[in-house]
Copies of this chain bind each other. A is one copy, B any other.
Amino acid sequence: MAIDKAGVRERRRHRGDNRVTIEDVAKQAGVAPITVSRALNTPEKVSARLRERIDQAVETLGYVPNLIAGGLASAGTRVIPVVVPSLSILTFIEVIHGIQQTLEAAGYQVLLGSSDFDLDREAALLDSVLGYSPSGVILTGLRHHESTVRRLKAWGRPVVEIMELGDASIDMNVGVDNAEVGACMALHLLERGYRRIAFLGTGMVRDYRARERYEGHREALAAAGVESELLFQQDEPSSYEVGRQLFLEALEARPDLEAMHFANDNLAAGAILEANRRGMRVPEDIAIGGYLGLSLGEHLTPRLTTVTVPRFEMGVEAAKLLLARLKGRSPALPRVDIGYELTVREST
């Protein structure tokens, strides 16, 4: 009456997928499927003899586990979605690199998602991606849709928010204090004696972290009683070209400017390269400061003064937090200030 379980004839009805399954391995090794499963996932729970026989069977049959089936049965896959605002911004790439390297070494795969600075898209992406029952999630920033936050909190698995620092994180958090970073460069410029200082950025409508840096800058100047702090902005992504344009526009609009604080090194580099081309002296004619610590900065003439943030390390740290939680260790510090460093060179 019952279907002949031992026989092969009833199998493979759905599709002609002739992949080797755990059952094939089990048969070959003369054990139960579950034993193969254990030999593969928790070898220490299987006797050496069986383990050997099973390994051999796996080898000869060329068995490759179906992670989807495993994921369904155990309600989780070794996948970690990483959602960033953009893949065209080097910063995020470097963070992703750190994440990917660390997670892959631990046997996890990174599922890449890009929200394009749009919280709706972020929410939709997360919805979709959570459908893969990932082990955890890494996402950018502390600002999300209310529904995203709620869902993730209810989800109960590790979540790391990166790039900025705050006390209202969903779960774990690693990043920098952007306002502090902005203030840091502003203070440096003040110390150098500059008073006519502009902050130049782009795409700041979308990128609130850049806005936070600007806020920090503005407040630092205000505290020092320095009046004019202007802000040029466009809605394009940062690039050398936009930096060049901002540089020229600022020079024209404010010929008396003494220093320019750029929202990032890409812009600042564009400015220095343009100054080079025009034979302008930096910092004598105009001082230039950046943010990020791109390697390009130290190859420019003059070398770029910048606030360096360890981006790769930030990714590594985020991944480590996640892995710690996955191993059951709840990290003592669910919040890591990755820090920053004022790198004073010759451009200021």
Q: Could you tell me which A residues sit within 8 Å of B by CB distance?
A: 14-15, 17, 64-73, 75, 77, 79, 81, 87-88, 93, 96-97, 100-101, 104, 109-114, 127-133, 239-241, 244, 269-270, 273-274, 276-277, 295-296, 299-301
Contacts and interface: CB of A to CB of B under 8 A. Distances in A.
Given A129-B109, A240-B296, A273-B300, A87 B96 contact: yes
Nearest to A121: B104
B299 A273 contact: yes
Contacts of A68: 68, 71-72, 77, 131-133
Contacts of A77: 68, 132
A334 to B, nearest CB: 23
Given A71-B68, A109-B129, A273-B299, A101 B114 contact: yes
B15 A75 contact: yes
Contacts of A269: 296, 299
Given A93-B93, A274-B299, A301-B277, A109 B87 contact: no
A134 to B, nearest CB: 10
A276 B295 contact: no
A81 B109 CA distance: 10
A113 B104 CA distance: 8
Nearest to A107: B128
Contact of A72 (B72, B244, B270): B72
A112 B87 contact: no
9 contacts: A65-B131, A66-B72, A67-B131, A68-B72, A68-B132, A69-B72, A104-B113, A109-B113, A110-B111
A65 B124 CA distance: 12
Given A14-B75, A97-B87, A66 B111 contact: no
Given A104-B114, A276-B276, A299 B244 contact: yes
A109 B131 CA distance: 12
Contacts of A69: 72
* Centre residue among A87, A96, A127, A129 by max chain B CB count within 10 A: A87
Nearest to A15: B75
B129 A100 contact: no
A272 to B, nearest CB: 9
A153 to B, nearest CB: 14
A67 B132 contact: yes
Given A131-B67, A132-B68, A295-B239, A87 B101 contact: yes
A345 to B, nearest CB: 13
Contact of A299 (B88, B93, B114, B270): B270
